[in-house]
Amino acid sequence: MKKILVTGGAGFIGSHLCERLLNEGNEVICLDNYFTGSKKNIIHLLGNPFFELVRHDITEPYYAEVDEIYNLACPASPIHYQYDPIKTIKTSVVGATNMLGLAKRVNAKILQASTSEVYGDPKIHPQPETYWGNVNPIGLRSCYDEGKRCAESLFINYHKQNDVRIKIIRIFNTYGTRMNTNDGRVISNFIVQALQGKDITIYGDGTQTRSFQYVDDLVEGMIRMMHTDEKFTGPVNIGNPLEYSMLQLAEEVIKLTNSSSKIIFKPLPEDDPMKRKPDISLAKKVLNNWEPVVGLEEGLTKVITYFDNVLAE
Ligand code: NAD
Ligand code: UDP
Ligand code: UDP
């Protein structure tokens, strides 16, 4: 039985990861400061004696004896990470330093949840891991993008300087059950608006694209990454390469919810990337032929059912 620490474990992705790790027979410590996460996301795990829930902020040191660490703590939605940009940077940089210090002390393997945002508004399409990105260091999104870029640098240097066993994954837009209805990201916004018969808010002209991955596919990729060859650090892109414009997404959501909602257009936020799509050749190669299996219609249908229940409560 392995002892595994999941930071940000009460969040959207973290809660799915905790559940999966417990199901595989591990002992899990879920650490969270509940900024965007919630006890509701992991309430069903609380009866499991091998699950431990700890309120803790990773910008403060943390001591435990563990075999593996998944470092997910960080707000991920633009409205949340821009709410307190300095805190967002501290979470990525000071938080990563603490978790790396912990990994170093107890010789744990540690995986960093990095992001496609390290590519900024990309000038290469689709984005391979070798692309260095196009990020505005002083823009609205920089607290998140640059924080995550600095965390990657910290990870690689703890590996080189201190022999810490690290894994870096770059997660592309991911959605699924347990996202907050007020998360502010596009999928939750569109589905909630469609279910409530409110206007669907497209920012800009809706031609910008994203590639959406269902959370189960991500969790599978994360766990496979943790188990790759000792010397392999990544970074590896984990995402679904099927690319949609926001206009196409809005139409798909309206269709699947049978909604009478109308599409309206609002201003495009500053530095909003125009397109994004992962090149997943490396992931397929190093993660045992991993590839996403949940398509957009199937994934959206699950989230629509979930939000329908949440909104009814
Ligand atoms: P989320 O906001 O649901 O989860 C983040 C969790 O971290 C929350 O439970 C929050 O309370 C916790 N947290 C935040 N700051 C903390 C701190 N200082 N100390 C302890 N806990 C803290 O977001 P998510 O979508 O589940 O994202 C999880 C991770 O995956 C994040 O690191 C995010 O950057 C990364 N990621 C997500 C996506 C995506 O599309 N969802 C894409 C790329 C990367
Ligand atoms: N740290 C931690 N838990 C541990 C070990 C270290 O939170 O089990 C923190 C420690 O407080 C420090 C950071 O991790 O701030 C980096 O640790 P490292 O040993 O790399 O650096 P140093 O302590 O020498 O500054
Ligand atoms: N977006 C939108 N309407 C919304 C929320 C977001 O059109 O109600 C757009 C946003 O401007 C961006 C895309 O959808 O172009 C994805 O936004 P999200 O915040 O989900 O993720 P990110 O921009 O971080 O990839």
- CATH number at 96 reads 3.40.50.720
Ligand 2, residues at Cβ distance < 6 Å = 61-63, 97-98, 101-102, 104-105
% of the chain surpassing 70 pLDDT: 100
Task: Work out the average pLDDT over 216-222.
Answer: 98
Across all residues in the chain, what is the average pLDDT? 98
The owner of tokens 């992991």 is 42
Ligand 1, residues at Cβ distance < 6 Å = 7-8, 10-14, 32-37, 57-59, 72-76, 91, 95, 113, 115, 171, 173-174
pLDDT value for 76: 96
Answer for the pair 165, 294: CB distance below 8 angstroms, yes or no. no
pLDDT value for 48: 98
Residues 6+ apart with CB under 8 A from 205: 247, 265, 268
pLDDT value for 303: 98
CA dihedral defined by 6, 9, 12, 17, rounded to 10 degrees?
A: 40
pLDDT value for 65: 98
Give me the amino acid identity at 219: V
Catalytic machinery residues: 144
C-alpha–C-alpha distance, residues 120 and 118, integer Å? 5
Task: Work out the average pLDDT over 110-135.
Answer: 98
**37, part of any domain:** yes
**208, part of any domain:** no
Task: Work out the average pLDDT over 71-75.
Answer: 98
Degrees, nearest 5: CA angle 174-148-122: 70
Residue bearing the CA closest to ligand 2, atom 7:
61
CA 10 – ligand 1 centroid, Å: 9
C-alpha–C-alpha distance, residues 109 and 230, integer Å? 9
pLDDT value for 150: 98
C-alpha–C-alpha distance, residues 148 and 129, integer Å? 15
Task: Work out the average pLDDT over 229-253.
Answer: 97
**Mutation test residue for ligand 1: of 13, 57, 179, 215, the one with most atoms within 8 Å of CB:** 13
**313, part of any domain:** no
Residues 6+ apart with CB under 8 A from 115: 76, 144, 145, 148, 170, 171, 172
**132, part of any domain:** yes
pLDDT value for 172: 98
The reply to whether ligand 3 has any atom less than 6 angstroms from the CB of 185 is yes
**125, part of any domain:** yes
Number of domains in the chain: 1
C-alpha–C-alpha distance, residues 165 and 106, integer Å? 11
Task: Work out the average pLDDT over 88-104.
Answer: 98
pLDDT tier for residue 120 given thresholds of 50, 70 and 90:
very high
pLDDT value for 184: 93
**206, part of any domain:** no
**138, part of any domain:** yes
Q: Which domain holds residue 230?
A: 3-180+213-240+277-293
Give me the amino acid identity at 213: Q
CA 177 – ligand 3 centroid, Å: 18
pLDDT value for 304: 98
pLDDT value for 159: 98
**Which tens digits make up the pLDDT trace of 29-68?**
999 999 999 999 999 999 999 999 999 999 999 999 999 9
**Which tens digits make up the pLDDT trace of 198-215?**
999 999 999 999 999 999
**298, part of any domain:** no
